Amino acid sequence: MPYTSYSILTDDDVHALYTYFRFGVTPVDVRAPDTKLPFPMNLRASLKVWNLLFLNKDAYQADPHQSAEWNRGRYLAQGAAHCSVCHTPRGFMMQEEAGLELSGGQVGTWYAPNITSDTASGIGSWTREELVEYLRTGRLRGKAQAAGDMGEAVEHSFQYLSAADVEAIATYVKGVPPIHDSRDSAPRFTAGKMSSELATLRGTDGIRSDNDAHPTGAELFQGNCASCHSAQGQGSKDGYYPSLFHNSATGSVNANNLIATILYGVDRTTSKGQAYMPGFGGKPTDFTALSDEEIALAGNYVLVHYGRADIPITAQDVAEVRRGGPTSPLLALSRIGIAAGVVIVLLILAFVIVRKRRRAH
Name the site residues for ligand HEC (rule: CB under 6 A).
77, 81-83, 85-87, 107, 110, 112-113, 115, 123, 131, 134, 139, 144-150, 153, 169, 173, 188, 224-225, 227-229, 241-242, 244, 247-250, 257-258, 261-262, 266, 275-278, 280, 298, 302
CA 190/CA 81 separation, integer angstroms: 28
CA 283/CA 265 separation, integer angstroms: 14
Nearest to ligand HEC of 149, 293 (CB atom): 149
Cβ distance 149 to 217 under 8 Å? no
Q: How far is the CB of 63 from ligand HEC (least distance, A)?
A: 18
CA 260/CA 279 separation, integer angstroms: 9
Cβ distance 7 to 55 under 8 Å? yes
Cβ distance 150 to 144 under 8 Å? no
Nearest to ligand HEC of 37, 345 (CB atom): 37
CA 275/CA 214 separation, integer angstroms: 31
Nearest to ligand HEC of 100, 244 (CB atom): 244
CA 34/CA 213 separation, integer angstroms: 42
Positive or negative CA dihedral for 355, 356, 357, 361?
positive
Q: How far is the CB of 339 from ligand HEC (least distance, A)?
A: 32
Amino acid at 155: E
Q: How far is the CB of 19 from ligand HEC (least distance, A)?
A: 24
Q: How far is the CB of 297 from ligand HEC (least distance, A)?
A: 10
User: What count of Cα atoms within 13 Å lies in the side-chain half-sphere of residue 295?
Assistant: 30
Nearest to ligand HEC of 11, 269 (CB atom): 269
Q: How far is the CB of 168 from ligand HEC (least distance, A)?
A: 10
Q: How far is the CB of 357 from ligand HEC (least distance, A)?
A: 58
Q: How far is the CB of 329 from ligand HEC (least distance, A)?
A: 21
Nearest to ligand HEC of 66, 230 (CB atom): 230
**Helices 128-137 and 148-156, interaxial angle, to 10°?**
90
Nearest to ligand HEC of 54, 241 (CB atom): 241
Nearest to ligand HEC of 83, 296 (CB atom): 83
Q: How far is the CB of 42 from ligand HEC (least distance, A)?
A: 21
Nearest to ligand HEC of 9, 115 (CB atom): 115
Separation of CA 86 from chain center: 7
Q: Are strands 139-140 and 110-112 parallel, antiparallel or unpaired?
A: unpaired
C-alpha closest to that of 145 among 30, 236, 250: 250
Q: How far is the CB of 302 from ligand HEC (least distance, A)?
A: 5
Please report the beta strands in the chain, taking only residues with DSSP state E, as ranges in sequence order: 105-107, 110-112, 139-140, 144-145, 266-270, 273-277
C-alpha closest to that of 40 among 338, 347, 342: 338
Nearest to ligand HEC of 46, 125 (CB atom): 125
Nearest to ligand HEC of 19, 327 (CB atom): 327
Q: How far is the CB of 66 from ligand HEC (least distance, A)?
A: 17
Rounded alpha-carbon distances, angstroms, from residue 239 to 37, 62, 228, 251, 293: 39, 40, 11, 18, 30
CA 293/CA 172 separation, integer angstroms: 42
DSSP β-bridge partners for residue 110: 107
